[in-house]
Structure 1
Amino acid sequence: MSKGLPRVATFVAGRGTALAEPALRAVLRDAGLGASQPEWLAADHAADVVFETDDPAGMRARLASALAGQAMDVVAQPLAERRKRLLVADMDSTMIEQECIDELAEFAGIRAEISAVTARAMAGELDFEAALKARVARLAGVRVDQIRAILDRLTLTPGARALVATMRAHGAHAALVSGGFTQFTEHVAERIGFHESFANQLEIVDGALTGRVVEPVQGRAAKRATLESLRARLGLPGAATLAIGDGANDLDMLDAAGLGVAFHAKPKVAAAARARVDHADLTALLYAQGYRRDEIVAG
């Protein structure tokens, strides 16, 4: 009796750690894959294990249980079409290490207050659109030159440039899709190398924020719609898409992708997504597509 189509589990060491073969063997044994032979994509860092199962959800659960307490990530997916031709990525706390609305709030003297609301919204505890409008309303008066100062201090998530550069080098299209603001996404998209970006727009009058977001607000549904529109425009099947994000407003987008990955995500988001990366940097998404270390473009 067939065990289903071939699948692949890609194991990647967390940042600052090594993937030791004895530890990997122990995980495979505990997950019921003890006879599998790892294929190393990067020595001491990333390895593939090909297997068959008629219960992929159960296998993901067994792998997650076997990895508990270890600084190691695993992405399990069908082996076919693992190299994606469309990347759709969230920006804040995904491709960059900041939440831009929290950075804006610092200039209004209310960073702690706004950051607390941002955390709750990203965890799925608040309605995204309502929470966004309420936070932006408190930012009225922040000036455009202060936005420019924020751009200078944004830091890229490790592996961000390599992820986009490598996928682009192999013919993929890359789009930055954010519930944040065009005043930031356009800068970040150019800096990292995305083909295009989609985000909300802050209303600006006389060089300062009015406290309003230009309608319509780009939230959870809009992110999914953007992925689907890009896929249709490019003539791609669903399996050819990769989406990454960390917040509750990313969940529909992650669900619509061939491979949707919760990256260093809020607990509810990580639990809901079919794939997650908790320890490694963004190059884990390249290893998950079968790229070897010597194929990765520095960016």
Structure 2
Amino acid sequence: MTLVATLIANPARPAITDAVLAEARRVTKTEHQPRILHGEVAAELLVPGTPSEASAVTELLREALGSEPIDLAVLPHDQHRRKRLFLADMDSTMIEQECIDELADVVGIKDRVAAITERAMRGEIAFEPALRERVALLKGLSVGVIDGLIRDAIRLTPGGHTLVATMRAHGAFACLVSGGFTLFTGPIGSRLGFDETRANQLDVADGHLTGQVVEPIVGAEAKRASLIELRERLGLGAAETMAVGDGANDLPMLAEAGLGVAFRAKPKVAEAAHVRIEHGDLTALLYLQGYSAAEFAA
């Protein structure tokens, strides 16, 4: 049996040097030469071991390279490495903000709402009641502010467009599934190139928020159910799926996916996910699948 160890740095801070690769080879006791995926940004090594040994090999590499700004993943080297279904969280994953916090900023209560958001994303409080509580605080806000927020306040996470475009160019289906709101996921999902988007619907009357969310709420189990539904619709096996997220409401979806990636995630999520990315941008998810930078879609 063979494993593949992938080493990933941030493109703005290349760190996969010859010395790093030599140390990785020594620690993993591999005779294989590294495959360079992108300069000093990403590389992979074939290493001996079984799937049950992947966690132990990962820890060996972390101990050896712990001072370097490098993400590490050790995964089975199998035929389903390149995924056919991709589900992504939006807030703090595909974009750098939490949309509900930005809405709260308009009415001057961002700190109050952001504190609730943080607790919910850490899994300290249940997602659904926390969402209802925060939306209630936005009652009366004009929906007309949303276009301006998307234009001026929302920033796409680096690498996201390339990630979606490359996977779709190689035949994958991409779905943006968010505990946020359709008023944001529609334009943002379109901009990023997703095939489909799913999110919560804010109740609106006379162009203003009523302070309520249209039920049922898209929470943790709904995200997991979306993955299962799309997987079955496309006739795929579990191993052919990948999901990415950062918050506690992403955990069931990440666990259900063949490859669940915690992206700059809350501690509880980073600990539970198959792989955690702390340094790289979203193109890291392509390197995890064995894509080289030369294969990225424009």
TM range (shorter): over 0.9
1:296 paired residue number: 296
SS at match of 1:175: strand
Q: What is the Cα deviation at residue 34 of structure 1?
A: 5.5
How high is the sequence identity, in percent, across the aligned residues?
52
**1:35-62 deviation per Cα after TM superposition (whole angstroms, max 9, x unaligned):** 4421111122111111221322222232
2:18 paired residue number: 21
Q: Contact 2:231/2:237 (CA < 8 Å) preserved in 1?
A: yes
User: 1:62, 1:136 → 2: CA distance?
Assistant: 45
Q: What is the Cα deviation at residue 63 of structure 1?
A: 2.6
Q: Contact 1:90/1:176 (CA < 8 Å) preserved in 2?
A: yes
User: 2:210, 2:84 → 1: CA distance?
Assistant: 39
2:174 corresponds to 1:174? yes
Give every structure 1 segment of 4 or more consecutive aligned residues whose post-TM-superposition deviation is greater than 4 Å.
none
Q: What is the Cα deviation at residue 274 of structure 1?
A: 1.4
Q: What is the Cα deviation at residue 24 of structure 1?
A: 2.7
Query: Unpaired runs of 5+ in structure 1?
Result: none
Q: What is the Cα deviation at residue 108 of structure 1?
A: 1.8
TM-score normalized by the length of structure 1: 0.95
2:238 corresponds to 1:242? no
User: 1:245, 1:177 → 2: CA distance?
Assistant: 10
1:33 paired residue number: 29
User: 1:243, 1:172 → 2: CA distance?
Assistant: 12
SS at match of 1:48: strand
1:269 paired residue number: 269
User: 1:66, 1:16 → 2: CA distance?
Assistant: 23
User: 2:149, 2:177 → 1: CA distance?
Assistant: 19
Q: What is the Cα deviation at residue 287 of structure 1?
A: 1.0
Go from structure 1 to structure 2 and tell me whether the alpha carbon gap of 1:161 and 1:119 turns closer, same or farther (over 3 Å shift).
same
Q: What is the Cα deviation at residue 79 of structure 1?
A: 1.1
TM-score normalized by the length of structure 2: 0.95
Matches within 5 A, 1:21-170: 21-29=18-26, 31-33=27-29, 35-54=31-50, 55-80=53-78, 81-153=80-152, 154-170=154-170
SS at match of 1:58: helix
Q: Contact 2:96/2:157 (CA < 8 Å) preserved in 1?
A: yes
Equivalent AA in structure 1 for residue 47 of structure 2: F
| Count of matched residue pairs | 293
Higher mean C-alpha deviation, range 11-20 or range 218-227: 11-20
Q: Contact 1:89/1:95 (CA < 8 Å) preserved in 2?
A: yes
**1:142-187 deviation per Cα after TM superposition (whole angstroms, max 9, x unaligned):** 1110112111121110001000000111110000000000010011
SS at match of 2:285: helix
Equivalent AA in structure 1 for residue 48 of structure 2: E
Equivalent AA in structure 2 for residue 62 of structure 1: L
User: 1:34, 1:51 → 2: CA distance?
Assistant: 5
Q: Contact 1:25/1:34 (CA < 8 Å) preserved in 2?
A: no
Q: What is the Cα deviation at residue 259 of structure 1?
A: 0.7
